[in-house]
Structure 1
Amino acid sequence: MSTDADSTARTRQQLQQELLRRARAGAARRTTAAPGGGAAAPDDSGHAAPGPRTAAAVGRGSLPLSRAQRRMWLMERLGGAGDSYHVPFATRVRGPFDPAAFATALTALVARHEILRTRYTEQDGEPRQEVLPPPRTVSVPVADTAPTDAPEALRREAARPFDLSAGEAVRALVLRHAPQDHTVLLTFHHIAVDGGSLETVAAELAALHDAAGGPDTLAVPPQYADHALREHDALPRLGAELDRWSDLLADAAPPGLPRPATAAGDPAARPAAVHTVPLAPTLPDALRTLGAERRATLFTVSLTAAFATLHRLTGDEDLVIGVASTHRTGTAMRGLVGLCVNTLPVRVDTSGDPSFTQLLHRVRDALLEAQRHGHIPFDLVLERLGAQARGTDGTALIRVTSDVLGEPTVLRLPGTSAEYVDVGIGHAKFAVSYGLDLADPARPTALVQYDPNALDDAVAGTTARDYAHLLATAAADPDTPLSLLPGFGPPPRAGDREPRHVPDPHAEARDTSGTGTPPADARDGAGHPAARALRAHPEVADATVVHPAQGRPVAYAVLRDSVGPSAHELLGLLRRSLPSEACPAAVTLLDALPRTATGATDPARLPGAPTPATSSGPRAEAVVETFAALLGNVPTPDDDFFALGGHSLLAVQLAERLRTRLALPLTGLDVLQARTPRALTALLDERAAQQSAAKNTRKPARSRGARPGTVLVTGATGGVGAFVLRELAAQGRPVLALARPESAHLVAGDGIDVVEGDLTDLAGLRDAVAGADAIVHAACTFTRHEVDLAAMEAMAGAWRRGPFVFVSSVDAYGHPETHRVAEESPAHEPVSPYGRAKLDCEAMLLRAAGTGGRGGASAVRSPIVWGAHDRLREQLRWGAVGGLYQAARKGAPIDLPRPGTGGHHWYGAAWVHAAALARTVAECLDRPVHGVANACSGHVSWHDLAHDLTELLGTRADFRETDEVPRDLDHRWVYDSARLARPLRAHPGEDRRTVLREMIDGMTRDDG
């Protein structure tokens, strides 16, 4: 090759590298993708040029979230995220590994990066972030685990929920397979990190772990809170660019993917599945050459292949695919840990049967245009587009993504070897994700990750093979029209040699009459696609559909054994799995379908379809008025929430306003499913009927009046509060119970009046406290500590007379150095956020006690509470001892710390029966302790508890003593309870074995 040719090749290579840097910028790493390499989530953030760091965020109070964080927070708040946004980072480390040294390095890392110790709160309906002080230490539990058991242990740890309100963003686990063979897992929440962050995390941990390195040897890093503030300040100036984005995406629609023939299970679970196809080792270089010759990167070439494959899959010509972008630009953001990714919607016209080269030029131009707007948070674009950004069934615009996956990040510690470990936590963020996987350059693969609720397995396998085949053939013959490439003719149809497996709505009722009109049963009855979809549900025994003379069709379903999903849940499933024209207006549950003498369904005896007339009544009025207040215009009965400009945060606000106004349970997820006023009113009517039926089974509450000696009890529907109510009622004390509106009917009874409210209603709390002669505060949010603190401040301020009993927790002691803990011992770090909130609430209460006519105060610190109550059963199954219970139920091996491990002769837990705690609370009303007292009826070793559980569950488990202490079992404190010993004395039937048997016997469903 000549010198000029060499220069040209170098120029092309440099151009390719620069385009690749812009397109990728480190955002696409396997460690941030779900299993199989799906692209990053559609997270949104701006990238205003970073300025100099002015001050630490600690002590600045609450700060706004970035748009990317806001989306993550909303997903957590809506309850639909699960572990989809957990980021596991696992490495197999072979060689000398010191967990203590690693813990020291991790603690220093968290101290360096504020985002790893940031908690998320809410103020006036808006999310905020607050940086917490550096922790004293970050725990790194070590568990002896065989390599064959490691994958399940890693998946289980990675899937554990995070408490964002407590500042929990990272946790560690080390699996020890042999003295010099470990797997190190760090699990982050995506609200705190992205792929670029993991590179920084790995590099700094290696430096901090090295004896020669340390925090002082590393440059001071930029902090994410400053980035979020800069983005927040820049948002008002984005109007013109948002208009431009709206023009670019006007009339764009989500790709019309072929729907699966049957639902794959609970749509909310979104389990990920993957098809991979091996590629020739030489193909990536051939594709790079193809791109360089046409001024495109390898990423652009693979994205073009994704567009071509999606075109064949859907038959659509106007397509949108999402790609990941980053805001990490410039040296000032180097070393930043945080969520700096954004989604770029790339819109391409595939019409006219272009060649691969022609399509590549279209994709390159569309990608560069999208990158010019990459600093615009994508969720702002969606808000500007409104209903235009969704399909008629509410489908999101970005259903399909594409990525190139490079070598994954690993943790390389001095003196050790590192091997990447894939932790599959099994959730798909998108319907389909195309990926060119180059993690192993010698074994490149094409892959398709997909959501089985959105795509059949057979269709996904076909599109993965198509994608691989197109990559290979395009490199060899890029100027051939797509339709002439082998295997790439028009989209196959039913009956073709390679069918798309698209379900035919009338497949079960073909026209055999010769009239050209399908029989009625094809449009209605058992052959209707909605009826077939309902019968595919494992808990539905039978279903049919009728079409009234006016309005939309109505579905009827019969549940197996009369239990299962509600009618609203089934309707939501149909809306997610059927085209809008096939979705019924409602689903009605019946005990059985009426039949004719021949066994056919008798439509005449089915309940009539709901009238299309506008719903009326107070609930319908409340829905319309709340829609109008939040969305700015009065809706018609069938106006879609999103079509009127709604979005996720407004859905949460709509649900909270209606729940407060109507005293009925409602969540943001309900609004996202029942999106019209008519559907939402029907849901509220259904829940009102359920509430009324529950009330009719109990005696009505008496009118509230001024009764001397009235005790206000918060948390009345909880496990502790229910037993306190029972004890006070048995003593003949007048009780005023605070309960959420939707559950108030559950606590009303003789001697018990109800005031509706919760801990967020501070004015209502003050009124209730002012009208009571004594207070028992047993309510707690457990995770929203700022709410607990505000509630205690309001109650202590309104308290004017009588005693006050606060049910606190032994977590307020933290981790005492000695195994025996006397009452009122000082707290010892580390104290959990939950324990710190309890300490702060106690301090507020005890400062107010005895002043301004107030009576004495008692902070009753309780441990795990046992008793036959649904809330307490859930604590047994999934709470602090949930790991022991689940292992005992399955008969799995149970690892227990050997006595003497860590210098502690005993490991176990304090416990108290709920009835004994209730007696103790009542005792404190008459004889306040004027301080802190423990409420512990006894203590049980982990070995004894595990033995009791296996025996009562009828299983056998292998108890194995270890020299390591699992995190959940690291309890070794015995709490003195001298002050309350008398009321804590066990009554008949309150021994541990009896109460465990009652709790287990009450668990009627499989705990799987």
Structure 2
Amino acid sequence: MVAKSADLGWGQRHHVLHYLQTPADARHDMHIAINHPVPEGTTVAHVRSALAYLVRRHEILRTVYDLLARPWPQQVVQPPAVPDVHVAGDRPAELIKRLTEEPFDITKEWPIRAGVIADGDAVRRLHLVFNHLSLDDVSLGTLTAELDVVLAARIARRPIQLPPVVHQPVDLARHEATLDPAQSLDHWRRIAARLPKDIYAGRRTGAEGSFAASFTVPSLLAIARAIASEHKVWPSAVHLAAYAITVATYTGEPRVAFRMYTSQRESSGYENVLGCASYPTLVVIDTAGTFAEVLKAAAARVEEAMAYAHVPYDLVIELVAQAGEPRVESELNFLNYAPRSCRARRDRFVWNAEPVSWAKSGADTYFRVYEWCDGTTLALQAMADVMGRDDVERFLRGYAELLRTGEAPTFSDRPTTSVVAEVARPVPP
């Protein structure tokens, strides 16, 4: 039964394509799993009631996708119902693992799963799993905050007080159907024409496997902000410049290309819609010159990405294909985790488990910058084909050192390169 439907939104096209291009046994890499704290006195019935309320309130939580619809795949909003809440028996770990790792069937399964561990009827732990296709960090924050309000109201037996939902994803999709993306597509056509060929060509070894590591640097938060203040740019531009320089130094290619996750909330005009409003936009940066020059270019790329982010994603992919040989399989993502703490007083390097599922996505590298209230974490996933284990660590440490001291990173068998040697950097506060 269908309550309403619409074509896929422009941003949804990226996430559906990514879902279809990822092997089924690796799709749980696109899941968001959280252990959500519950107030004392929460029962299984309270959880069911609260989730039913949120599912009724937010259509994205009861949306499935008709991938065979013509002329275009559709998002299909189903009628409200009480979502399944799985109660763990004597093997809670098995339940949590199944809920977390079993692939979502987006053609018929809602993008939310819930499992509880309880003593009798008293909930001790609430485990929620979402399909990233339907929620991003902003929407997740909104949803979990509302869950807290609803649970508290249910326990206290008082009315729920939340502002009305003005727009749903279907409203955004119907609005997009009235727009002409020609101007934005012209911008991305110009970017696609400048794409270099495979920047990792000189580094490919054919090695199998993948690596993942993170480097938490408390001082990097203030350093990046000081540089941003000095040059009157956003801190994200500082990290974009540092990333481009580090990649260029490693590859020996002065012009680097990658995809940067960019929010389309503001540019869409529907910034409060619950959904996944971030997808990767193309970035090309020439790194020959001083750090200040690269930073200026990076700031321009950030502004352009935000200005032209609201565009049908699949048409941008077609522009890249029309450009010929370019290979752009590296992604960069900025994540704001404040007011949460990095929980580190000194630099902390950690090797993470091999990203086996991510490695099946077809990407070369995935770099993330987490900004906490008291530090910054740099995280890198890389295919062994393009970067060995030692160079993964050198990349993270070299990136941080570039911003701290202005020293260019060094790597094994460093290729000949003309990338930036001079780094203009203010003294951090």
Give the alignment partner of residue 286 of structure 2, picking from 349, 372, 379.
349
1:306 aligns with 2:228: no
Residue 72, structure 1, aligned to residue 5, structure 2 = no
Which residue of the other structure, out of 176, 190, 195, is the alignment partner of 2:137?
A: 195
Give the number of aligned pairs.
395
Query: What is the distance in 1 between the residues matched to 2:107 and 2:36?
Result: 28
1:427 aligns with 2:357: yes
Which residue of structure 1 aligns with residue 381 of structure 2? 449
Using the TM superposition, give the Cα deviation of residue 334 of structure 1 relative to its aligned residue in structure 2, in angstroms: 5.3
SS at match of 1:74: helix
**In structure 1, C-alpha distance between the alignment counterparts of 2:11 and 2:287, rounded to whole Å:** 31
Give CA-to-partner distance per residue, 1:921-974, whole Å, 9 cap, x none: xxxxxxxxxxxxxxxxxxxxxxxxxxxxxxxxxxxxxxxxxxxxxxxxxxxxxx
Specify the alignment match of 2:200 in structure 1. 256
- Structure showing greater radius of gyration is 1
Q: For residues 459 and 177 of structure 1, what CA distance do their matches in structure 2 show?
A: 48
Q: Does 1:172 align with 2:114?
A: yes
How far, CA to CA, are the matches of 1:332 and 1:196 in structure 2? 16
**Mapped pair 1:182 → 2:120:** no
What is the alpha-carbon distance in structure 2 between the residues aligned to residue 188 and residue 321 of structure 1?
Answer: 27
Structure 1 residue 382 and structure 2 residue 313: aligned? no
For the pair 1:472 / 2:410, whether they are aligned, the reply is no
Partner of 2:188: 245
State how 1:808-887 maps to structure 2 within 5 Å: none
Query: Within 2, Cα distance between the matches of 1:224 and 1:240?
Result: 23
Contact 2:51 2:147 in 1 (8 A): yes
Contact 2:398/2:409 (8 A) holds in 1: yes
Q: CA deviation at 1:86?
A: 2.1
Contact preservation (8 Å) 2:378, 2:396: yes
Write the distance in 1 (CA, Å) between the matches of 2:142 and 2:354.
Answer: 23
Which one-letter code corresponds to 1:470 in the other structure? L
In structure 2, distance between residues paired with 1:444 and 1:186: 26
Equivalences for residues 82-161 of structure 1 within 5 A: 82-93=27-38, 95-121=40-66, 122-124=68-70, 126-135=72-81, 137-143=82-88, 154-161=96-103
Aligned-residue offset at 1:111: 0.6
**Following TM superposition, by how much is the alpha carbon of 1:445 offset from its aligned partner in structure 2, in angstroms?**
3.1
Bigger strand fraction: 2
| Alpha-carbon distance in structure 1 between the residues aligned to 2:22 and 2:223 | 45
Runs of 4+ in 1 over 6 A off after TM superposition: 177-181, 422-425
CA offset digits 1:229-283 (Å, max 9, x no partner): 111221xx2224312321233140343262245212xxxxxx7x4212232x333
Task: For 1:406 and 1:326, locate their aligned partners in 2 and report how far apart those are by CA, in whole Å.
Answer: 16
Q: Is the 8 A contact 1:303 1:363 kept in 2?
A: yes
3-state SS of paired residue (1:123): coil
Q: Please say if residues 277 and 446 of structure 1, whose CA atoms lie closer than 8 Å, have aligned partners that are also in contact.
A: yes
Amino acid at match of 1:399: S
Could you say which residue in structure 2 is the equivalent of 1:406? 337
Write the distance in 2 (CA, Å) between the matches of 1:297 and 1:232.
Answer: 32
Task: Give the partner amino acid of 2:130.
Answer: F
* CA distance 1:366–1:119, change in 2 (3 Å): closer
The verdict on how the C-alpha distance between 1:332 and 1:315 changes in structure 2, with shifts beyond 3 A counting, is: closer
Alpha carbons of 1:288 and 1:69: their partners in 2 closer, same or farther (altered >3 Å)?
Answer: same
- Report if aligned partners of 1:113, 1:221 keep a CA contact under 8 Å in 2: no
The residue number in structure 1 matching 2:148 is 206
Cα distance in structure 1, aligned partners of 2:85 and 2:270: 29
1:324 offset after TM fit, Å? Answer: 1.7
Match of 2:135, SS state, is coil
Specify the alignment match of 1:324 in structure 2.
261
CA deviation after TM superposition for structure 1 residue 101, in Å: 0.7
Distance 1:98 1:140 in 2: 12
Contact residue 107 and residue 138 of structure 1 kept, 8 A: yes
- Distance in 2 (alpha carbons) for counterparts of 1:425 and 1:182: 30
CA RMSD of aligned residues (A): 3.5
The 3 A distance-change label for structure 1 pair 487 and 189 is closer
Alignment pair present for 1:276 and 2:214: yes
- Residue 492 (structure 1) aligned with residue 414 (structure 2): yes
CA contact (8 A) 2:212 2:355 kept: no
**What letter matches 2:214 in structure 1?**
T
Output the CA distance in 2 between the equivalents of 1:446 and 1:210: 36
Shift of 1:390: 4.7
What is the aligned partner in structure 1 of residue 345 from structure 2? none
Q: Residues 139 and 194 of structure 1: is their aligned pair in 2 closer, same or farther, counting only changes over 3 Å?
A: same
Residue number among 392, 395, 404 corresponding to 1:460 in the alignment: 392
- Which whole-Å deviations, capped at 9, do the CAs of 1:156-196 have from their partners, x for residues lacking one? 42111212222421111123599988342221222222222
State the secondary structure of the residue aligned to 1:106: helix
- Counterpart code for 1:433: Y
Q: Is the 8 A contact 2:280 2:331 kept in 1?
A: no
Q: Secondary structure at the match of 1:329?
A: helix
Match of 1:851 in 2: none
2:171 aligned partner, one-letter code: D
Q: Structure 2 vs 1, CA of residues 356 and 63 (structure 1 numbering), >3 Å: closer, same or farther?
A: same
Identity %: 24
Please tell me whether residue 230 in structure 1 is matched to residue 161 in structure 2. Answer: no
**d(CA) in 2 for partners of 1:423, 1:229:** 42
Q: Give the equivalent residue in structure 1 for 2:348.
A: none
Unaligned runs of 5+ in 2: 342-351, 417-429
CA–CA separation in structure 1 for the residues paired with 2:122 and 2:267: 40
TM-score (norm 2): 0.80
Displacement of 1:469 after TM fit?
1.8
Report the AA paired with residue 372 of structure 2.
Answer: A
Aligned residue for 1:512?
Answer: none
CA distance in 2, matches of 1:452, 1:408: 35
Distance 1:180 1:360, change over 3 A: farther
Quote the offset at 1:336 in angstroms: 2.0
| Counterpart for residue 437 of structure 1 | 370
Aligned equivalents of 2:286, 2:333: Cα separation in 1: 17
Cα offset for 1:108? 0.6
Match of 1:371 in 2: 306
- Residues of 2 paired with 1:177 and 1:313: CA distance? 54
1:728-807, aligned counterparts within 5 Å?
none
Pick closer, same or farther for the CA change 1:189–1:389 going to 2, 3 Å: farther
Rounded to whole Å, the distance in 2 between the matches of 1:319 and 1:486 is: 16
Q: Cα gap change, 1:316/1:292 in structure 2, threshold over 3 Å: closer, same or farther?
A: same
Deviation of residue 301 (structure 1)? 0.9
The answer as to 2:228 corresponding to 1:291 is yes
Tell me the alpha carbon deviations over residues 525-573 of structure 1, each in whole angstroms, 9 at most, x when there is no partner.
xxxxxxxxxxxxxxxxxxxxxxxxxxxxxxxxxxxxxxxxxxxxxxxxx
Q: Tell me if 1:358 matches 2:293.
A: yes
> Aligned-pair distance for 1:456?
2.6
Task: Specify every segment of 5 or more residues in structure 1 that has no aligned partner in the other structure, as ranges.
Answer: 1-56, 265-270, 411-421, 475-484, 495-1008
Alignment of 1:910-925 (within 5 A): none
**1:956-971 maps to which residues of 2 (within 5 A)?**
none
Deviation at residue 107 of structure 1 after TM alignment: 0.7
Compute the displacement of 1:106 (Å). 0.6
Shift in CA distance, 330/76, structure 1 to aligned 2, threshold 3 Å: closer
Show the counterpart of 1:964. none
**What is the letter of the counterpart of residue 173 of structure 1?**
G
SS at match of 1:188: strand
Post-superposition offset of 1:358 = 2.3
Look up the equivalent residue of 1:191 and give its one-letter code.
L
Post-superposition offset of 1:367? 2.1
